[in-house]
Structure 1
Amino acid sequence: MKRYLPIYPIEIITFIWIITTGLFILLFPSSVRETTWVHLLMMRGTIMAGCVGVMLLHRVSGWQFLTYFRQLAPIVLITYWYPETYYYNQLFFKDIDKFLIAADQWVCGCQPSTLFSEVWAPAAWFNELMNFAYMSFYLALAFVHLYFLKVKTEKAFFASFVLLSSFLLFYMFYIFFPAEGPQFYICSHPSAAIPNYGPMRGLLMWLQSEGERPTGAIPSSHIGLMVTYMILFWYHARKLFYWILPFSILLALSTVYIKAHYVIDVITGAALAFPFYFYSVWLWHRLNRRLQPSTRAL
């Protein structure tokens, strides 16, 4: 008897992203910079081939490990999808930073992304705290998955889907509304933004050198996804919501302090987190009704 091996919801949205952005690049090659549209399409083909290969291996081997891998690993691809938006986001605008600077001036009456660090950077402990707070976003991403894996496997799969879906929705904005952020637009490079001393600052600079590009300022996915973590914990682990709240506040401060974002980016990121979360939850249930009815109870 032939074994049935379903495609999982998180794989579906990954394939949708690959196909949709691939068609965009193919139709609008003029939006591509610093690389070629052929290279971008080849990367998509390679990633899709890898995903299909894992699916076929799962079908042949039946290894339980691959059930976890297929539903959790796709979120790791954000380390590629995010910086890649920089290479094909020039269709309508070169950048919109000047509008964001004007918005900050209107909202705050000043430029917090420059003044914040000017006032507090001389305090070495605060400089290190802000750099650590910014990196706590990645620790929280790992913690969400590990916690739900321990509590209930299906909830971990659900959380991974919701988070990846939210990430990709934010990334759509980056393709059509390119914004470099203060660290690139004002300071020309992250290393010029704030004092470069201390282990936390050194670690963050290394991470940014590996995966950061002048893209993704508005809306802030750091803030949006941190709010998404909080929503997940509010509904599924209320006590942890109160534990993660202080880190979320520090993260919001740190994004402006290290000049990754303007204040308006933080506001829009937090605001969009809610519709993105509820849309992602709706999409999870809709896909599971068609593919895996047994997971609808989440």
Structure 2
Amino acid sequence: MALDIFKKVEVQKGLFAVEKVSLIYNLLTSILILFMLPRMSHPYEMLGDRAMIALVTFCLIYLYRLAPCKFSAFVRIAVQMGLLSYWYPDTFEFNRFFPNLDHFFASAEQFIFGCQPAVEFSKHLPYKWISEPFNLGYFSYYPMIVVVALYYFFRRFDLFEKWSFIVVASFFVYYFIFIFVPVAGPQFYFPAIGAENVANGIFPSIGHYFNFHHELLPGPDYQHGFFYSLVDASQQIGERPTAAFPSSHVAISTIVMLSAFQVSRKLGSFLIPFYVLLCCATVYIQAHYLIDAIVGFFSAFVVYFLVKKMYNKWFADPLFK
């Protein structure tokens, strides 16, 4: 099996589907940077990053043609998926210039549920034996994607490129929403307006507050453990006051679960506990409002159907045999 991934294969000319959609997103956001140039804090650095990403993409194509095998194809796809960690905080560089909308979502939450579920959830279940599994679930987000990616690569290589397109294109759909719908989520908004306002159901508009403040304060005051520390450390590094609505954690993990069950019931069943914990954790750790998670779940089915249809229409023939 290990040697098989280095076995020479027929060269697939041109860009992979996942590279095409990544370059399209690269181009569209580059145009947006140029359009917003006077307001951007470091536009030329961002444009330089995009040029470098495009250059790396074409360099990998060249290397693949020198040594065409499953492994070099995997590297091309893995790099595009790895770049999602760059594109995510990048959405903040755009939506920070739009008025924040958290007051609208927090008010809707209060109206629908009569409280703030993100506050009540952790408040009534502050125990370590509750918080640790939820934080484990939240931390499992990227490992779940990696596990499914490796399964497709080793067991269903013929569908690997299609699967990567579905996942990456789905991410980009949500990233576009995050750019134009600036919602930071409870973990940023509630500290900004103060606990007293939250307790009294008062959710003022804070306008462009997050254009100048993007500090992430410690999470809810429940008992901290190992997985809490892992989640907190990862958020301190990569989290920004962006991407709360809808919850991409719930949406993308739902899409990953759909694709897992498509090829292996055992794989999907193995991931179910992590998936359920992850969905609950998005509200428990106050990363999202409950309505973010609900919309993330239902929108995932729509996005999954649309991106699959896009692939089948544009790339009908399987790239890998």
After TM superposition, the score normalised by the length of structure 1 is 0.90
Q: Give 2:108's aligned residue.
A: 103
Matched, 1:140 2:144: yes
1:23 paired residue among 28, 31, 50? 31
Which whole-Å CA distance do the structure 1 matches of 2:267 and 2:170 have between them?
21
Change (3 A) 1:194 1:146: farther
More helix by share: 1
Q: Give 2:43's aligned residue.
A: 37
Q: How far is 1:154 from its partner?
A: 2.2
Taking the TM superposition and a 5 Å limit, the aligned residue runs for 1:1-298 are: 5-29=13-37, 32=40, 35-62=41-68, 64-91=70-97, 93-121=98-126, 123-188=127-192, 189-195=216-222, 197-289=224-316, 293-295=317-319
Change (3 A) 1:102 1:4: closer
Change (3 A) 1:208 1:160: same
Which whole-Å CA distance do the structure 2 matches of 1:287 and 1:199 have between them?
45
Unaligned runs of 5+ in 1: none
Change (3 A) 1:194 1:79: farther
Which whole-Å CA distance do the structure 2 matches of 1:14 and 1:288 have between them?
15
Q: How far is 1:30 from its partner?
A: 5.0
Question: CA contact under 8 A between 1:221 and 1:269: conserved in structure 2?
Answer: yes
Question: CA contact under 8 A between 1:31 and 1:90: conserved in structure 2?
Answer: no
Choose 168-177 or 67-76, whichever is displaced more: 67-76
Question: CA contact under 8 A between 1:256 and 1:262: conserved in structure 2?
Answer: yes
Question: CA contact under 8 A between 1:288 and 1:296: conserved in structure 2?
Answer: no
Amino acid at match of 1:26: L
Which whole-Å CA distance do the structure 1 matches of 2:286 and 2:38 have between them?
30
Unaligned runs of 5+ in 2: 1-10, 193-215
Aligned residues: 288
After TM superposition, the score normalised by the length of structure 2 is 0.84
Which whole-Å CA distance do the structure 2 matches of 1:138 and 1:63 have between them?
26
Which whole-Å CA distance do the structure 1 matches of 2:251 and 2:104 have between them?
21
Give the aligned CA root-mean-square deviation in angstroms.
2.0
Q: How far is 1:246 from its partner?
A: 2.9
Change (3 A) 1:10 1:99: same
Q: How far is 1:240 from its partner?
A: 3.1
Question: CA contact under 8 A between 2:159 and 2:320: conserved in structure 1?
Answer: no
